[in-house]
Homo-oligomer: A and B are copies of this chain.
């Protein structure tokens, strides 16, 4: 029942490292998990053909979003997970006083929607920061398939675990690092995720504003801007508005770890736990 790989003009994600270009405007919908270019990062996984076949049997829908459009809101009944095919998203909650608090950024291949499973309703809002496309995966259907394929079930659990581990990493960043280190690890995290998608590790576009970065990192936008300037002066990065070049990734890494913990320098004799 599953469609064979009809050629799509969706910009290929695999292949040589390139600058991440704005998403093409003239795209056809992708066709099959088997042929999907973000499949390795998605639910079917890279290893097993059968999981991809199974997913295709679901014949799930795609949904196209324009920049600024919402995928769902806090309170929206939970029915589906979403896989980002293309585009860039942010998740956020709106506090009582009406201000947005960014909880994450999502790019191609990443799953969105885990926040809704527990209470059958989403707890965060998700909005497209640029035009994009998502695969819609009805959750009960997914669970039925997962019970038929241990591989698919495991992949789902891996991805949820990854979300947990990633969030723990963010908690660490927020709890232990000063402004400079937070921004540095943010840039390294983005870089790493771009690499995993075949983009350049050293050069990319920030799809979000300084304010959104600051919100995510628990900093004010002015502070983010200042840190960018300082990192540039230290020749660690090059900033030109939304364009970022990492000139010295090891240098950035050093900022996040050895030093620049919240102004509490290492004890005389570090010992492993």
A residues bordering B, Cβ < 8 Å? 73-74, 93-101, 103, 114-119, 123-125, 143-144, 146-148, 150, 153-154, 157-165, 167-168, 170-172, 174-176, 215-218, 257-258, 261-262, 264, 266-267, 269-273
> A150 vs B144: C-alpha distance in the bound complex, in angstroms?
7
Q: Nearest Cβ distance between residue A205 and chain B, in whole angstroms?
A: 24
Q: Verify B123–A165 contact, CB threshold 8 A.
A: yes
Q: Verify B115–A176 contact, CB threshold 8 A.
A: no
Q: Verify B171–A99 contact, CB threshold 8 A.
A: no
In the assembly, how many copies of this chain are there?
A: 2
Q: A97-B266, A150-B147 are in contact. Are A161 and B271 (CB under 8 A)?
A: no
> A93 vs B165: C-alpha distance in the bound complex, in angstroms?
12
> A218 vs B261: C-alpha distance in the bound complex, in angstroms?
11
Q: A118-B161, A161-B115, A216-B175 are in contact. Are A98 and B168 (CB under 8 A)?
A: no
> A257 vs B74: C-alpha distance in the bound complex, in angstroms?
18
Q: A114-B164, A164-B115 are in contact. Are A97 and B272 (CB under 8 A)?
A: no
Q: Nearest Cβ distance between residue A44 and chain B, in whole angstroms?
A: 16
